[in-house]
Amino acid sequence: MEENGKEDIVVVIGTPSPDSSKLYALTVTEGDPTWAGALAGAALNLPVFHITEAEIRDQIDEQVFEDELGGVDMVLDVEDIAEAVRSVREGVQR
Amino acid sequence: MAKQLRILHYVNQFFGGIGGEEYSNTPVQVREGPVGPGRALQAALGDRGVVAATLIGGDDYVAENEAEAAVSILAALDQVKPDLVIAGPAFDSGRYGLGCALVCRVAQKRGIPAVTGMHPDNAAVITHRRDLLAVPTGTNAAEMAQMLAKMTALGVKAASGDELGSAEEEGYIPRGIRKLVFKEEVGYHRALDMLLSRINGEPWRSEIQVQRYETVLPAPPVRDLSETTIAFVISTGIVPRGNPDSIPGARSLEAGRYSIEGIDSLDVENWESVHGGFNTRILNTQNPNYAMPLPTLRELEREGVIKAIYPYFFSTVGNQTAVGPAQDIGRRVAEELKAAGVGGVIQLSG
């Protein structure tokens, strides 16, 4: 990113819970909230989406989504995950 | 402006950027300035202090080599000469919590105030409660910055030399220390006020902290014993003769894990009870099976009444162990049994 800038970069995550989604979303926006890794204190402010969010999902071929992620709605709490990631994203936009 | 405090910050190998579990044997070492969460600590401190150095220790190393680790910690304190030590926060990580507790204890012995942060159920709180000035945290490491801000506030106060208020006023985990205080109203007035508030449905609080015991719901019944592996989990203190894990006769914090694979019955040549709370003479000279009826369960296994006996049993001494450590033992045992697909447990208490 230092070489190419952050234009046209979107981060897509596939984390399994609202908490972990928020953690990873924060890591690529405000910086690692656990302050453990290389991105501690590094505010990349990248737009971040969960793969199950409509913005991403609608752009994926239905059959491909079904093959790779079929049934994900039953396994994951996709609504709360989307809310967690959205809140981080919107926090950045403000 | 008040003098800037020199801070020594302790973190484990993970937060110290050395590596994960595979580096948990890293000995204690000092780095100049803040590392990892230390940068958030520095931000929380502002101009009140400076993170002069970071002390990093591997979780296993510190937990398993307490004496050597304490020597290294002491050397670091003498080298850095901090006004305040901040350790962690460790959240719910038990070994990291014990490391933080060790650093705090060594610093306090040197006369240096020390503050840590961890979950109230962390093993280190259970073991070292009276010695720790610890901010209660949750289990989510993403709250690092908020927790460090709280630890900083408490640490700055502790380092100021002003007397600290109660755990509730200052926001640390109660240490179980009682202090004599004077109240304006005498006891029976206060008791009546409390009673009236209670009757009127108004808020009231007891002046005595009572430990609340959780209600343990019984597990659902075992559906089909013939399809179920059963394990023995006992607190009658049965161990291989010689007590290889040094399970203590009272206040045990551990359970031993011993194989009974291929064994039909316990004999006094190979087994004994180390329980210190009842007379073990008959168990230890005649028949240890009274404390773990293996022959009977083997019979039921042969008859197909149960599917199998789990090849290991867990044994501790249920004598004066506090609720917290007992829950810890239970959790560890349950994790293994669940992972192994054990469907039922026979518990015998001593």
Establish if B179 belongs to a structural domain. Answer: no
pLDDT at residue B189 greater than cutoff 70: yes
- Please say which residue of B135, B170, B205 terminates a domain: B170
pLDDT (0 to 100) of residue A94: 43
A71 in reach of chain B (CB within 8 A): no
Q: B36 and A36 in contact by Cβ < 8 A?
A: yes
Lowest mean pLDDT among A27-36, B34-43, B208-217: B208-217
A17 in reach of chain B (CB within 8 A): no
Same domain as B306, residue B157 = no
B318 vs B347, which has greater pLDDT? B347
A10 in reach of chain B (CB within 8 A): no
- Cβ-contact B328, B126 below 8 angstroms: yes
pLDDT band at B128 (very low <50, low <70, confident <90, very high): very high
Q: B15 and A22 in contact by Cβ < 8 A?
A: no
| Nearest chain B residue to A21, by CA | B142
Same domain as B147, residue B258 = no
Mean pLDDT of chain B: 92
Q: A33 and B142 in contact by Cβ < 8 A?
A: yes
pLDDT digits over B2-27, tens only?
Answer: 689 999 999 999 999 998 888 999 99
Same domain as B277, residue B137 = no
pLDDT digits over A11-27, tens only?
Answer: 999 999 898 899 999 99
- Mutation pick from A35, A39, A85, A88 vs chain B, by most beta carbons of B within 10 Å, is A35
Q: A35 and B144 in contact by Cβ < 8 A?
A: yes
Same domain as B233, residue B150 = no
Establish if B101 belongs to a structural domain. Answer: yes
Same domain as B159, residue B67 = yes
pLDDT at residue A93 greater than cutoff 60: no
Count the domains in chain B: 2
Establish if A5 belongs to a structural domain. Answer: no
CA distance A26 to chain B (A): 9
Count the domains in chain A: 1
A43 in reach of chain B (CB within 8 A): no
The share of chain B scoring above pLDDT 70, in percent, equals 98
Q: A19 and B140 in contact by Cβ < 8 A?
A: yes
pLDDT at residue B338 greater than cutoff 80: yes
- Mutation pick from A34, A39, A85 vs chain B, by most beta carbons of B within 10 Å, is A34
A11 in reach of chain B (CB within 8 A): no
Establish if A4 belongs to a structural domain. Answer: no
Which positions in chain B touch A36 (Cβ < 8 Å)? 14-15, 17, 36-37, 141
Same domain as B241, residue B157 = no
- Please say which residue of B170, B188, B216 terminates a domain: B170
What's the pTM value of the predicted model, to 2 decimals? 0.65
Q: Cα dihedral sign for B128, B134, B136, B142?
A: negative
Establish if A63 belongs to a structural domain. Answer: yes
Nearest-angstrom CA–CA distance, B205 and B194: 7
Would strands B5-12 and B84-87 be described as parallel, antiparallel, or unpaired? Answer: parallel
Which positions in chain B touch A23 (Cβ < 8 Å)? 142
Closest CA to B90 of B20, B36, B15, B170: B15
Structural domain including A75 reads 11-93
Same domain as B237, residue B159 = no
- The whole-number average pLDDT for the span B162-168 is 88
Establish if A3 belongs to a structural domain. Answer: no
Q: B141 and A34 in contact by Cβ < 8 A?
A: yes
- Beta-bridged to residue B317, according to DSSP, are B236
pLDDT (0 to 100) of residue B321: 80
Establish if B58 belongs to a structural domain. Answer: yes
Structural domain including B320 reads 225-349
Same domain as B114, residue B35 = yes
Between the CA of residue B141 and those of A2, A34, B7, B49, B114, what are the distances in Å? 28, 5, 22, 24, 21
The share of chain B scoring above pLDDT 90, in percent, equals 77
Mean pLDDT of chain A: 88
Which positions in chain B touch A35 (Cβ < 8 Å)? 15, 36-40, 144-145
Any idea what the CATH number is for the domain that residue B59 is in? Answer: 3.40.50.2300
B37 in reach of chain A (CB within 8 A): yes
Q: B37 and A41 in contact by Cβ < 8 A?
A: no
Q: B142 and A40 in contact by Cβ < 8 A?
A: no
| H helix or E strand, kind and range, residue A57 | helix A54-57
- Cβ-contact A38, A44 below 8 angstroms: no
Establish if B203 belongs to a structural domain. Answer: no
Establish if B87 belongs to a structural domain. Answer: yes
Q: B142 and A23 in contact by Cβ < 8 A?
A: yes
Q: Which of B166-180, B229-243, B317-331 has the highest mean pLDDT?
A: B229-243
What ranges make up the beta strands (E) of chain A? 11-13, 48-50
Q: Which two three-digit tokens encode residue B117? A: 């942060």
pLDDT (0 to 100) of residue B2: 65
| Nearest chain A residue to B12, by CA | A36
CA distance B88 to chain A (A): 11
- The whole-number average pLDDT for the span A58-83 is 90
pLDDT digits over B66-87, tens only?
Answer: 999 999 999 999 999 999 999 9
Same domain as B164, residue B231 = no
Same domain as B98, residue B243 = no
B143 in reach of chain A (CB within 8 A): yes
A40 in reach of chain B (CB within 8 A): yes
